[in-house]
Structure 1
Amino acid sequence: MRIWGRFFGTLLGFMVGKIIGAVIGFYFGYKFDKGLGGDFGAFNQQNETQRQNDFFNITFAVMGHITKASGQVSEDEIAFATAHMNRWGLSGDVRQAAQKSFRDGKQPHFNLQEQMKKLKRVCFGRKDLLQMFVEIQIQAAFADDNLHPKEREILHGIGASLGIPARHLDFMLDRIVAGEHFHQQGSQQSPQQQKQHLSDAYKILGVTPQSSARDVKKAYRKLMAQHHPDKLVAKGLPPQLMEDAKQKAQDIQAAYELVSKQAA
């Protein structure tokens, strides 16, 4: 609620015309606040829409750059990009811009550092968005179930640009790849698959079989605080990314339940 127009209008009106002037000043100050509020609200909405579009364009441009790093973009990697456009409901001009960004990212002249600078401006003060950006790029690199050395090099370059230590990025790599495997596993599993499923659950939580129940719960709570949809909504996460957040939260919850059951 904006009140400065009313405040100064009333004050100036009183100085000029006492009570009558204060009433008149309050009225014009009210009209000023109302008009400014509407304009500012529209500006904010336009600004947020532009920021979201910039985020998507950067995301797909870097995605194209990563998938091209191995020399040729695979069908799985193209399917991954298309699936995310569908999941995020990108259509019309927004989808065409994202497709163009993906193609631009595959070009030899693509400037990754320039895109990282732009991303930091777009996501200023939004660590949750930067986190999701990195996780999406890791998933894109593993879309064909193989991490090429060049893809790993680019991911580490992205991490360095965003202030993510190499060790932490490797941890993210292990956790996200484990999450993809964990999510894809069906209910019917062989003993070997069950063993791998449990191993993936530990990696998702960032713990080991030797970790105490207290440490497991602490890791679980920390991850849920970062990925829980309700918390991300409160931070202003674009609605298009909510499905991604929900899936990650479900995998974290399932991993925690499996690890806790194993420890019981």
Structure 2
Amino acid sequence: MLWPSTVIGAGAGFALASIPGALLGALLGQAMDRRLQLHSWAHLREKLGGRPVLRDDEVLFVLLGRLAKSGGRVLEGHIQQARHEMQRLELDTAGRKKAIDAFNRGKAGREKVDGHLRRLKEQPHAAEGVLRACCRMAWAEGRAGREQKELLVSWGQQLGWSAAKVQALAGDYEPRKAALEGPGSYPEALRLLGVTAEAEPGQIKQAYRRLLSRHHPDKLQGSGASPARVREATERTRELHQAYSIIRKRHGF
């Protein structure tokens, strides 16, 4: 991690008095960094009146927005997944507004994330949480596209994960090759959502959201549920996403 005032102090000291000056300048700069809590160049820009540094949860929603848009357009499943992530983090009204803004900035693709990922790399537990949330978003519509998978691997590597490790993590969230594939997938999707082929779009959406809320693995957090039960809930959620995607495409909404 580069402490900005330390680097500036060392450079200025070296220019004035060679190595002894660099050492003294670095010590003075380090004291300034600690006093002002400057952890990066982004924090220094914020102190100087620049754009505020994103909090970790805002960084997450920037990434989620980028993933959602990477397939071409943001779909209902992506929006629902973003809402679930807000619930999981127990964001208040102000936090939700910031998360929505960050999600929209991620969709626009103008927010640079490399520096944020380098910061998160120093927090392994937080880094894994971010990658898991990104996996959930990537498969929010039942399947992840090539662009989404490439983003996951790229971000994972910036967080210190190998490509193989990221792919293994993503495998926990990829739906099974099961009943929702093949000629009978549409009838099976209707069965999973508990709707008929004649149901209105509003009824289908309501059934999907109700089941998603009931089976989402985040509801098991803090309940002492076994890893097997969490995996089962995760699998069920993916099946619901995929079923909804199949029905939505068939009905054209």
TM-score, with length taken from structure 1: 0.47
TM-score, with length taken from structure 2: 0.49
User: Who wins on radius of gyration, i.e. which is larger?
Assistant: 1
